[in-house]
Structure 1
Amino acid sequence: MNREPDFLENLRAELSSGRVWLDRTIVLGYAVAAGLFVVAFTIASDWAFGLFQGLHRSFPWAVLLWTPALTVAIVWVTRRWFPGAAGSGIPQVKAALHPALPPQRRSRLVSLRLTVAKIGLAVAGLGAGLSIGREGPSVQVAAGVMQHARRYLSPNSPIDARALLVAGGAAGIAAAFNAPLAGVVFAIEELYGRLETRASGLIITAIVLSGLVAVSVFGNLSYFGVIRVPHLDWAALGPGLAVTLTTGLAGGLFSRLMAASLTGAPGRLNGIRARWPLRFAAAGGFLIAVIGLVTGGITFGAGSEAVKQMLAGHESLSPLQTLLKFIATWLTAWCGVPGGIFAPALTIGAGIGNSISELAGHGLGPALIAMGMAGFLAAVTQTPLTAFIIVMEMVDGHSMVLSLMASAMLASLVSRMISRPLYESLAEHMVGSAVASPAPAVTPPQLNHGTEAPAPGERPVSS
């Protein structure tokens, strides 16, 4: 027969194990550290892109040299010393969580060394004016910090390396978007699929704590401010459906192009990229600079400022500019630069929503822009719950919960007819490459010559 919990007995049991509480304190301490790393990353990114904007305003044609030259330097450093830092960072965390990945290979994808490298290289990419965001990289940055906690936990702690990676990755989203709820949903929907009951409370606490670190620094403000949504009636159904279907198709195409480009699918251009990666990066950087000049600089960087202006009704993104932002983001990722696609995807989706709102009229601009953001992000990532919650928290769009949810769900469904989930495809490619590569031979107590040693400050972590 079940009996009611005894409060005093349970309290004594909780307080009896000092080691359990020490483990919890260590995890939460690392969660704070992860939040601080993301905050520093945010500040450095804004500073670097501000410098680039100053260069572009003062010497616009200089970017034709500056952008390709810095792109080549970033790609060279990445390929030479930090190959695990290339790209978004979300696929690396998903690959590190994959059961087929040998635990000793995990540090090639997520580590403190890669955290520092990711910050530096992504900041340099924004300083070059490349079409990247810092939100996806924040996942790898925070995961690299959190996984380091495992060495200080007790051997029988229920918090294992996988749980720390999930907590770190989700904490990165929470801190980057100033959206703790999005971080929790991201952990469940994208990274893990489920949370172990015995550790879920502490993991969620760590995610929220990292988000609160960002809130304490930047304030409890919505990323894009508060949108003014008009009363939505049946007249909004047609334009809303048009935005959803367009973002679903565009996002599916973008996802398919990215997967084909970054997994080395057969093709002439991928062959050129594999043979001459630095020349390819130079050409890509030059094209991105040309696109930026043609659009008046609107395609440079993440594009967050353009979204803020559109939501406020002060600026619009034409269909051509939206298409060129799409191309610039794809080219940037194809070059192999460390950087994310979350923020550029939101800009592209906002541009689609803005273009359709101008055709539809009825004062639906802010609502359709928000739906476009949720739809395109959901179509690219195929994580509709995360996408709609991110947008809802970024625009304080609680009055549009059902509209954003419907847009994200339908756009994701359309995208799945065109492309496999992007991050899943890239993660599987990384795992396949890691498993196929020769295993490092270890002769205790030292590594053989030619074997990749653990990163400084790292040690192998068991699952």
Structure 2
Amino acid sequence: MPDFAVKTADMWHRGSAWILGPLMIGLVAVALATASNYVSQLNMALFHAFFFAPLLILPLGFVALTYVSRRYFSGTQGSGIPQTVAAINETDDAKTSHLLSIRIMIGKVMLTIGGLAVGASIGREGPTVQIGASIMHMFYKRGPFQDVEQRRILLLAGGAAGIAAAFNTPLAGIMFAIEELSKHHVFNANSSSLVTVIVSGLISLALLGNYTYFGSSGANLEWNSGVSTILICGVVGGMAGGVFSRLLIAASFGTTTRMAGFIRQRPLAFAALCGLGVALLGLATDHLVFGTGYQPTQAMLEDSGSLPWYFGIAKLLATLLSSMSGIAGGVFAPSLAVGAGVGDNLAALLPVSYAPHSAIVLLTMAAYLSGVTRAPVTAFIIMMEMTDSHHMLLPLMATSVVASAMSKLISPTPLYHALSQKFLLQR
């Protein structure tokens, strides 16, 4: 009887983890997506009605978000992916207990929505990874989930489910767990991990419908100019992504003594300066750099709108300042917008007959994302799933690999793994 009771309890805990956990991830991801879209629309309406409002709202908003994060939700700063990587790689529970919890989940949701409400150049996808890992972390030390390896499996499944639910990209979720979250460990894509991704994805599908993030792209690439297009997009996009990673890592670790002292002693003042910088960039681009950058990115993929030539660099700087400030928010969606801007520039420089505009934009988006994350497989799969561009699989794959190699020359250490060390040092 005792053995039967133990087995029954183990089955209950396993069922709760692999069914209840992904249900919660899917529901929270959908709630975050819905709320983020709503506050982004409110932000656009407000800034459209009061053109200079960002000069007041962004500095004050960054200060408020930084204060709340540091005071009540320490561990929610930035994307959330570095915190998840740190928790997966660390074997000592005490060292990472402040990075994944229900408190962190609540704070991450609130602060990400707040960041988008004030116009920060952030995304919700990275935060959803930390949210998913935090939810699955609840089941650690319950039933059969007692050792470090079981804990790691829970966190990997939660992070993968977060990406899958955020973008409606189940394949990219699995590849993200394999390529990014488990660089130092062998990822076992067992039935439990797959069930977590599938169930969370089904919740998103049931509530939001079957959709692709950027619609269906008709981009196509002729192979007579395809190789050179791939090389150009891969080299330029990868180098741009490497520069962003190098700058963000430098801002986190390698700032001058005077600047580092200022950030450490006056974090709220530094956040205000970052907010002011984003506001000025927004005014210079007619508010285009605020938020995720979804609308201008979709317009460029559909060839349905034109953007100023400086959109890409302005969005890169706005995302860099938002990430440096210490507020919660990811870089996935803004990175896609930066890549689209850089791709738009490349399309303008190349001959009209060289390659279609939408194809160059699509390839450069994958290249820039690969350059930032140094996860080429995730980059090309996520672009393929988000734009329904299965016919562009080989060009996307080749471009992402080239971009990752170019990024490594500029920023040898992958961004998320460099930042994960920062969170371990802050414990």
Q: Under TM normalisation by the shorter chain, which class is it?
A: over 0.9
Give the equivalent residue in structure 1 for 2:76.
85
Identity in percent: 38
Matches within 5 A, 1:330-345: 330-345=320-335
Give the equivalent residue in structure 2 for 1:242.
232
- Quick one: distance in 1 between partners of 2:124 and 2:259? 27
Give the equivalent residue in structure 1 for 2:418.
425
Shift in alpha-carbon separation, 1:288–1:109, aligned structure 2, 3 A: same
Q: Please tell me the residue identity of whatever aligns with 1:332.
A: S
The answer to whether the Cα contact below 8 Å between 2:156 and 2:181 also exists between their aligned partners in 1 is yes
Give the equivalent residue in structure 2 for 1:351.
341
The answer to whether the Cα contact below 8 Å between 1:259 and 1:425 also exists between their aligned partners in 2 is yes
Aligned-partner SS, 2:190: helix
The answer to whether the Cα contact below 8 Å between 1:74 and 1:124 also exists between their aligned partners in 2 is yes
Deviation at 1:241, TM superposition (A): 1.9
Give yes or no for the alignment of 1:364 onto 2:384.
Answer: no
1:260-283 Cα deviation digits (max 9, x unpaired): 112354354333222211111111
Shift in alpha-carbon separation, 1:68–1:18, aligned structure 2, 3 A: same
Any runs of at least 4 consecutive aligned residues in structure 1 with deviations exceeding 6 A, and if so which?
Answer: 156-159
The answer to whether the Cα contact below 8 Å between 1:143 and 1:164 also exists between their aligned partners in 2 is yes
- Quick one: distance in 1 between partners of 2:145 and 2:230? 53
Shift in alpha-carbon separation, 1:106–1:359, aligned structure 2, 3 A: same
- Quick one: distance in 1 between partners of 2:187 and 2:361? 37
Matches within 5 A, 1:125-274: 125-154=115-144, 160-193=150-183, 194-195=185-186, 197=188, 200-263=190-253, 265-274=255-264
Aligned-partner SS, 2:319: helix
Residue of structure 2 aligned with 1:282, choices 272, 276, 281: 272
Q: Please tell me the residue identity of whatever aligns with 1:81.
A: Y
Deviation at 1:399, TM superposition (A): 0.3
Aligned-partner SS, 1:229: coil
- Quick one: distance in 2 between partners of 1:325 and 1:187? 27
Q: Please tell me the residue identity of whatever aligns with 2:176.
A: F
Aligned-partner SS, 2:53: helix
Give yes or no for the alignment of 1:380 onto 2:368.
Answer: no
- Quick one: distance in 1 between partners of 2:149 and 2:15? 12
The answer to whether the Cα contact below 8 Å between 2:22 and 2:197 also exists between their aligned partners in 1 is yes
- Quick one: distance in 2 between partners of 1:164 and 1:149? 8
- TM-score by length of structure 2 reads 0.93
Matches within 5 A, 1:416-455: 416-419=408-411, 420-434=413-427
Shift in alpha-carbon separation, 1:155–1:78, aligned structure 2, 3 A: closer
Give yes or no for the alignment of 1:50 onto 2:49.
Answer: no
Deviation at 1:47, TM superposition (A): 1.2
Aligned-partner SS, 1:83: coil
- Quick one: distance in 2 between partners of 1:83 and 1:53? 29
Matches within 5 A, 1:402-417: 402-417=394-409
Give yes or no for the alignment of 1:96 onto 2:90.
Answer: no
RMSD (Å), alpha carbons: 1.9
The answer to whether the Cα contact below 8 Å between 2:95 and 2:424 also exists between their aligned partners in 1 is no
- Quick one: distance in 1 between partners of 2:255 and 2:88? 24
Aligned-partner SS, 1:160: helix
Deviation at 1:107, TM superposition (A): 2.1
Q: Please tell me the residue identity of whatever aligns with 2:392.
A: M
- Quick one: distance in 2 between partners of 1:155 and 1:182? 26
Give the equivalent residue in structure 2 for 1:395.
387
Q: Please tell me the residue identity of whatever aligns with 2:43.
A: F
1:27-60 Cα deviation digits (max 9, x unpaired): 2211111111111111111111111111101111
Deviation at 1:313, TM superposition (A): 0.8
Give the equivalent residue in structure 2 for 1:454.
none
Shift in alpha-carbon separation, 1:91–1:51, aligned structure 2, 3 A: same
The answer to whether the Cα contact below 8 Å between 1:243 and 1:352 also exists between their aligned partners in 2 is no
Deviation at 1:195, TM superposition (A): 4.8
- Quick one: distance in 1 between partners of 2:341 and 2:261? 33
The answer to whether the Cα contact below 8 Å between 2:274 and 2:321 also exists between their aligned partners in 1 is yes
Residue of structure 2 aligned with 1:108, choices 98, 107, 114: 98
- Quick one: distance in 1 between partners of 2:314 and 2:321? 10
Shift in alpha-carbon separation, 1:245–1:157, aligned structure 2, 3 A: closer
Deviation at 1:158, TM superposition (A): 10
Deviation at 1:429, TM superposition (A): 2.4
- Quick one: distance in 1 between partners of 2:291 and 2:20? 32
1:174-216 Cα deviation digits (max 9, x unpaired): 000100111111111111245565x822112112221221122
- Quick one: distance in 1 between partners of 2:145 and 2:127? 30
Deviation at 1:359, TM superposition (A): 2.5
Shift in alpha-carbon separation, 1:119–1:50, aligned structure 2, 3 A: same
- TM-score by length of structure 1 reads 0.86
- Quick one: distance in 2 between partners of 1:319 and 1:421? 29
> Greater Rg, structure 1 or structure 2?
1
1:269-324 Cα deviation digits (max 9, x unpaired): 33322221111111111111111111011100010111111111112333311111
The answer to whether the Cα contact below 8 Å between 1:375 and 1:407 also exists between their aligned partners in 2 is yes
Deviation at 1:106, TM superposition (A): 2.3
The answer to whether the Cα contact below 8 Å between 1:26 and 1:152 also exists between their aligned partners in 2 is no
Q: Please tell me the residue identity of whatever aligns with 2:130.
A: Q
Shift in alpha-carbon separation, 1:155–1:230, aligned structure 2, 3 A: closer
Give the equivalent residue in structure 2 for 1:8.
none
Moved more, 81-90 or 350-359: 350-359
Give the equivalent residue in structure 1 for 2:3.
none
Give the equivalent residue in structure 1 for 2:63.
72
The answer to whether the Cα contact below 8 Å between 1:26 and 1:153 also exists between their aligned partners in 2 is no
